């Protein structure tokens, strides 16, 4: 078992950290004790103005705000705090616990930028990326780690339940192309697993997934940095995890679903504070940018362009005028998009069609049940393996 860095981006999230961080620390301690593998937790405070940083320091987190160097197996930094090191952080965490680190962004970088800083600072080969509003089951880390015995695996994501309702809101994701767009939100569950995610795992074909949601997924740090991390063009939020995962698929890597690792999410705790009209505009803009960078099959690209033109022309009739402003916002970034498109076409090892074929085969498996809405699980009596 390899060392695991847990990265949590946070913006004005003090109350969320107070509620959800203890379970993260407990799961890290259990993993380290059972598997004799080191862990660390890095909170990236993304330009927040609440008292998150002060609270974290009081709880034993070491502030890496000053210049930091990794030397002789330990973090070192200049100035009066030069003695601060991995050992000191571990002692602050209770000896056998995870090292605890705080990274402060002077300005808000958005989700992708904050996560990228956390991955850069992480010391261990696997990074468990969590939202600050996610509750982690105690035994969630080890099953994720097991997936990385396969050197082709880029990421593996958890099974996610909505905290308030208890309904499943994150399972395996299927990919396809229809009506001019890459479809990523159709889901599936394996039919031979019980509520704890246990079942006929031996000899099972991999549970591939279209994307690893950035709120509760583990990544191979070296591969993450190699392919460039979260895309800055999508700042400040939305579609970063889809774009990153699809980029990994086309680069020849694999993304998996791990149902044995369970988290519970208080959905949209941060995004819900923002103006929803502006949020929707950014979401639509980023969806377009994602397609323009990665959709390389000629017939699919032509279909996409025609559908975008149709949707833009009919947006006022459909009472969705924001789609036109999203298109304009995406077009303003076209020079950068063209540069990124050129880079990804050169780096691709799979075609779009080859990626979609992976999921066309997956959905035909007898041990997989595909669905578009949670109600379909209930109607089919599938709650037992959700």
Q: Using CA atoms, how far apart are residues 141 and 150, in angstroms rounded to an integer?
A: 17
Overall average pLDDT of the 13-22 stretch: 94
State the virtual CA torsion across 280, 218, 249, 326 in degrees, nearest 10: 10
Beta carbons within 10 angstroms of residue 326's beta carbon = 23
3-class DSSP string for 139-180:
CCHHHHHHHHHCCCEEEEEEEEEECCCCCEEECEEEEEEECC
Q: Are the C-beta atoms of residues 137 and 263 closer than 8 Å to each other? A: yes
- Provide the pLDDT for residue 275: 61
**pLDDT tens-digit map of 117-173:** 999 999 999 999 999 999 999 999 999 999 999 999 999 999 999 988 888 889 999
**pLDDT tens-digit map of 317-331:** 888 888 999 999 999
Sign of CA dihedral 24, 30, 35, 41: positive
Q: Using CA atoms, how far apart are residues 140 and 53, in angstroms rounded to an integer?
A: 26
- Provide the pLDDT for residue 270: 57
**pLDDT tens-digit map of 353-369:** 999 999 999 999 998 99
Distances (CA, A) of 106 to 110, 259, 370, 377: 12, 37, 44, 45
- The yes-or-no verdict on residue 4 having pLDDT over 50 is yes
Alpha carbon 223 to chain centroid, angstroms: 14
Q: Could you tell me which residues are beta bridge partners of residue 43?
A: 8, 102
Give the ranges where the chain is alpha helix by DSSP (H).
Answer: 14-35, 52-58, 86-92, 110-121, 141-146, 221-226, 240-250, 276-294, 298-314, 322-331, 334-347, 352-362, 374-379
377 Cβ contact list (under 8 Å, min separation 6) = 168, 189, 369, 371, 383, 386
Overall average pLDDT of the 303-312 stretch: 97
- Provide the pLDDT for residue 373: 87
Q: Give buried/exposed letters for 122-154 (b at 16+ CB in 10 A, else e).
A: bbbbbbbbbbbbbbbbebbbbbbbebbeeeebb
Please tell me the pTM assigned to this model: 0.89
Domain positions in the chain are 276-350
Beta carbons within 10 angstroms of residue 260's beta carbon = 19
Phi/psi of residue 142, nearest 5 degrees:
-60, -45
Sign of CA dihedral 328, 334, 336, 338: positive
User: Which three-class secondary structure state does DSSP give residue 116?
Assistant: helix
**What is the Cα Rg of the chain in Å?**
21
Beta carbons within 10 angstroms of residue 338's beta carbon = 12
Q: Using CA atoms, how far apart are residues 244 and 349, in angstroms rounded to an integer?
A: 15
Of the two residues 195 and 14, the one the predictor is more confident about is: 14
Overall average pLDDT of the 185-190 stretch: 92
Of the two residues 193 and 274, the one the predictor is more confident about is: 193
- Provide the pLDDT for residue 320: 86
- The yes-or-no verdict on residue 26 having pLDDT over 80 is yes
Say how many Å lie between the first and final Cα of the chain, rounded.
28
pLDDT-derived band at 9, boundaries 50, 70, 90:
very high
**pLDDT tens-digit map of 255-301:** 999 999 999 998 765 555 556 677 889 999 999 999 999 999 999 99
**pLDDT tens-digit map of 58-71:** 999 999 875 445 45
- Provide the pLDDT for residue 278: 79
Place of tokens 């309904």: 167
Lowest mean pLDDT among 36-45, 74-83, 204-213, 253-262: 74-83
Lowest mean pLDDT among 62-76, 335-349, 360-374: 62-76
If phi > 0 it is left, if psi is from -120 to 50 it is alpha, else beta; for residue 149 that is alpha
Task: Write out the two tokens for 335.
Answer: 């020079």
Give the rounded percent of residues in the chain with a pLDDT score beyond 90. Answer: 71
Of the two residues 90 and 38, the one the predictor is more confident about is: 38
Task: Write out the two tokens for 237.
Answer: 């939020």
């Amino acid at each position: 078992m390899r060392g695991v860095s847990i990265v949590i981006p946070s913006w004005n999230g003090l109350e969320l950290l107070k509620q959800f961080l203890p379970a993260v620390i407990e799961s890290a301690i259990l993993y380290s004790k059972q598997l004799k593998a080191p862990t660390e937790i890095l909170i990236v405070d993304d330009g927040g103005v609440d008292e998150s940083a002060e609270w974290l320091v009081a709880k034993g987190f070491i502030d890496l705000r000053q210049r930091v160097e990794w030397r002789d197996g330990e973090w070192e930094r200049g100035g009066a705090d030069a003695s601060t090191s991995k050992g000191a952080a571990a002692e602050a965490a209770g000896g056998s616990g995870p090292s605890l680190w705080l990274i402060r962004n002077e300005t808000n970088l958005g989700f992708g930028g904050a996560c990228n800083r956390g991955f850069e600072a992480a010391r261990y080969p696997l990074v468990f990326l969590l939202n600050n509003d996610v509750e982690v089951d105690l035994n969630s880390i080890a099953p994720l780690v097991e997936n990385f015995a396969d050197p082709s695996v880029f990421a593996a994501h958890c099974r996610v339940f909505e905290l308030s309702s208890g309904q499943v809101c994150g399972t395996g994701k299927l990919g396809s192309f229809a009506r001019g767009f890459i479809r990523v939100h159709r889901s599936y569950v394996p039919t031979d697993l019980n509520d704890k995610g246990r079942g006929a795992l031996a000899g099972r074909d991999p549970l591939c997934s279209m994307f690893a949601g950035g709120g509760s997924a583990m990544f191979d740090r070296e591969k993450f940095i190699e392919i460039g991390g979260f895309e800055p063009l999508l700042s400040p939020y939305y579609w970063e995890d889809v774009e990153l995962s699809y980029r990994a698929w086309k680069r020849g890597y694999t993304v998996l679903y791990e149902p044995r690792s369970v988290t519970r999410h208080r959905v949209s705790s941060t995004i819900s504070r923002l103006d929803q009209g502006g949020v929707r505009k950014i979401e639509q803009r980023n969806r377009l940018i994602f397609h323009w960078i990665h959709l390389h099959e000629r017939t699919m690209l032509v279909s996409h362009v025609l559908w975008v033109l149709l949707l833009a022309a009919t947006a006022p009739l459909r009472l969705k005028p924001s789609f036109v402003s999203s298109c304009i916002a995406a077009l303003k970034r076209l020079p950068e998009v063209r540069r990124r498109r050129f880079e990804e076409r050169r780096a691709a090892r799979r075609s779009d069609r080859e990626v979609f074929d992976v999921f066309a085969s997956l959905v035909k498996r007898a041990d997989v049940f595909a669905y578009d809405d949670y109600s379909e699980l209930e109607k089919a009596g599938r709650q037992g393996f959700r």
